[in-house]
Amino acid sequence: MMNQHKPRLLTGDTPTGRLHLGHWVGSLENRVHMQNDYDCYFIIANVHAFTTRVEKPAEIHQSTMDIAIDYLAAGIDPNRSAIFLQSEIGAIAEMTFFFSMLIPFPRLMRNPTIKDEIRDKGLGDNYSMGFLLYPIGQVADILVFRPDIVPVGEDQVPHIEMTREVARRFNQVYCQVDPHTEDADYIAKGGVFPIVHTKLGRSKRLVGLGGPDASGNLLKMSKSLNNAIFLSDDADTIKKKVMSMYTDPKRLKPTDKGTIENNPLWIFHDTFNPDKAWVKEAKERYRNGTIGDVECKKSLIDALVAFIDPIRRRRLELEKDLHYVQTVLREGTARANEVANTTLLLAKEAMRQRYF
Ligand code: ATP
Ligand code: MG
């Protein structure tokens, strides 16, 4: 059960819906495969879900359970890895406050993911104070586990960069680590927090099913943007979604020459169709106008159903046993709290705020 000799891995998801194909290629696939070699902690960031869903607590509760079920169905093994709830880790909330003082406010507002989210989620200038606090909350989510590696999608890279900045600053200010220290040496030089590495998935930013935004960029697949294929979708739903997905808008009939680049149809084939030879040949025919969209879409539907259906079936079984899912969360949270509380003591000691 305990994997303390292994390097530690931390990552997770915000419960704002169920998990989709973007999560799989961006991060989940890596997590499933890394469980053997790493001591893994997977956070369900239910507090962060309130940044955009303050009036929907029941929905957040449901999504939290859904994500736990998605993890288990996708192959996260609770005997090796801890799945836990952010709201139950008091050390995260405490460290968020201390860390927020180590990041200048203008630096936070330069974070490109924050700007993208304000735009893509239509938050205008009505976002809450807590929304701006969430990247710092994420710094705390990560650092209280003092992990060696953090597998995430590309949109999280700016948050990880902030995590590295906060860790360096904390170690310099409170542990007297020399600012010229190499990132890899911070712990050896007396720092509390490691300067973490990311690991990007095989597809850093999977696009969604919808078309481009006003400036012509394809949006990423996202639970909040209604453009996702979920790991829980059944064959009919997958079929409907694929049949109506965005492809090449200039191609009106099968004999028109089609464009492969930036075409979600082919991005999905490249990412999920194991029959590489078919994909190669079909792309050529698409370019030359000798294959119909329907044939290309049917083959994609088959590939996606073959991948998703076993996960969906395991989900159905788990949904019947919520008591088991709850036990997994309780035990994972207890394990996570052991690590987080140890870090909190070390941090308070470094900050001369341990009085007893
Ligand atoms: P939300 O719309 O609520 O922000 P999301 O779909 O963006 O949801 P998150 O919970 O923010 O999902 O992200 C969880 C993890 O999955 C992160 O590591 C993120 O980078 C990764 N991820 C999410 N969407 C994609 C995608 N389309 N491609 C690759 N990785 C992704
Ligand atoms: Mg997101």
Ranges of each domain in the chain: 8-201+322-350, 207-316
CATH topology of domain 8-201+322-350: Rossmann fold (3.40.50)
Percentage of the chain exceeding pLDDT 90 = 84
For 327-356, the pLDDT digits (tens) are 999 999 999 999 999 999 999 999 999 999
Reported pTM? 0.92
Residue 352, token pair as written in the block: 């001369």
2-6, 87-91, 279-283, range with the lowest pLDDT: 2-6
pLDDT at 124: 87
Smallest Cα–Cα separation from 332: which of 149, 79, 10?
79
For 169-213, the pLDDT digits (tens) are 999 999 999 999 999 999 999 999 999 999 888 888 999 999 888
Cα(124)–Cα(281) distance, rounded to whole angstroms? 45
Rounded mean pLDDT, 125-149 = 94
Atom 25 of ligand 1, nearest CA residue: 22
CA distances from 339 to 73, 196, 269 (A): 26, 16, 41
Ligand 1 pocket: which residues have CB below 6 Å?
13-14, 16, 22-23, 25-27, 152-153, 155-156, 203, 205-206, 220-224
**193, 167 in Cβ contact below 8 A?**
yes
**Helix 293-319 / helix 276-288 crossing angle, nearest 10 deg:** 140
Q: Counting atoms of ligand 1 from 1, which one is nearest the CA of 28?
A: 16
pLDDT at 4: 58
Tell me the CA–centroid distance for residue 154 and ligand 1, in Å.
Answer: 9
Q: Counting atoms of ligand 1 from 1, which one is nearest the CA of 205?
A: 28
Rounded mean pLDDT, 15-38 = 94
Asked whether the domain spanning 207-316 has the same topology as the one spanning 8-201+322-350, the reply is no
Rounded mean pLDDT, 133-142 = 96
**41, 10 in Cβ contact below 8 A?**
yes
Residue 141's pLDDT band, with cuts at 50, 70 and 90, is very high
Residue 94's pLDDT band, with cuts at 50, 70 and 90, is very high
Is the predicted pLDDT of residue 313 greater than 70, yes or no?
Answer: yes
> Burial of 230 by CB count in 10 Å (0-12 exposed, 13-18 middle, 19+ buried)?
buried
Tell me the CA–centroid distance for residue 114 and ligand 2, in Å.
Answer: 10
CATH topology of domain 207-316: Tyrosyl-Transfer RNA Synthetase (1.10.240)
